[in-house]
Amino acid sequence: MTTTDSGASIWMVGDLQGCCAPLQALLSHPDIVNGPDTRFWFAGDLINRGPDSLGTLRRVMALQDRATTVLGNHDLHFLAIAAGIKKPGKSDTINDILDAPNAHELISWLRHRPLAHYEQGHLLVHAGVLPAWSVKKTLALAAEVESALQGPNWKDMLERMYGNEPTHWDDKLCGGKRLRVIVNALTRMRMCTPKGHMEFEHKGAPVNNRHIMPWFDVPDRTARKDTIVFGHWSTLGLMLRPDAICLDTGCIWGRKLTAVRLSDHKVVQIACEQYQSPGHH
């Protein structure tokens, strides 16, 4: 595929976390011809921690069908707060959405976002894909969570998603345990054991030894032939590999907002103000 018609490009964008100003700067960047055919993929965590969660959410929604966004852990956390399951923490900045006149519409829009999206050999998720899963399996399991989140009992689903167990996939899993593994893999995972079991203690820069390693380095990972596109891991930062692209470059921490063009992996970055310190996980 040629890239001569840059107006028809797909740009894949890292975690925004309520940082609307860098998003505005990105959308007007001269290297991004933001025409009617230009599309944007957002790797989740549109909101929370930054100064303008409401403005960020509205700006992405205004792109209408030109925006494809997958849900991240912060987006799900917001939905749990909106459902009355959790209370806002000190570093949460989502009250502007909850207090908005059209809060119900905003909540509904988020509830109806996917957890995975596949197109042109690229699979978009927020955090990662379990090493045992194929692209087809990932999309099918993501659809199970999406169905629960979009259904009448969506609050029950959110209540059951919290917890670190089980740490690995089993086709026999059902109910809350099944949904929890899917949500944790797609929205929280960073490190795994060599057998592909999720490990949640390590949140810093990646380490790679015989005990734990990044999920994308687990031996014999199933979905290697496609490119997994993800955010979530700011201490990993920008990573461009044939089989994996990390887009989270710490916008919220005062680093950069990154966009990568799908067709040729051209990179555009916007410098960001620091709104939170990395110690506030």
CATH number assigned to the domain with residue range 7-271, chosen from the 4 options 3.40.710.10, 3.40.228.10, 3.60.21.10, 3.90.1150.10: 3.60.21.10
Q: How many CB atoms lie within 10 A of CB 90?
A: 5
What's the pTM?
0.95
pLDDT in tens, the chain (281 residues): 222 343 479 999 999 999 999 999 999 999 998 888 999 999 999 999 999 999 999 999 999 999 999 999 999 999 999 999 999 999 999 999 999 999 999 999 999 999 999 999 999 999 999 999 999 999 999 999 999 999 999 999 999 999 999 999 999 999 999 999 999 999 999 999 999 999 999 888 898 888 999 999 999 999 999 999 999 999 999 999 999 999 999 999 999 999 999 999 999 999 999 887 765 44
DSSP assignment of 198-252: EE-S--SS---SSS-EEGGGSTT-TTTTSEEEE---TTT--EE-SSEEE----TT
Domain spans of the chain? 7-271
Task: Give the helix, strand, coil percentages of the chain, each rounded to 5.
Answer: 30, 15, 55
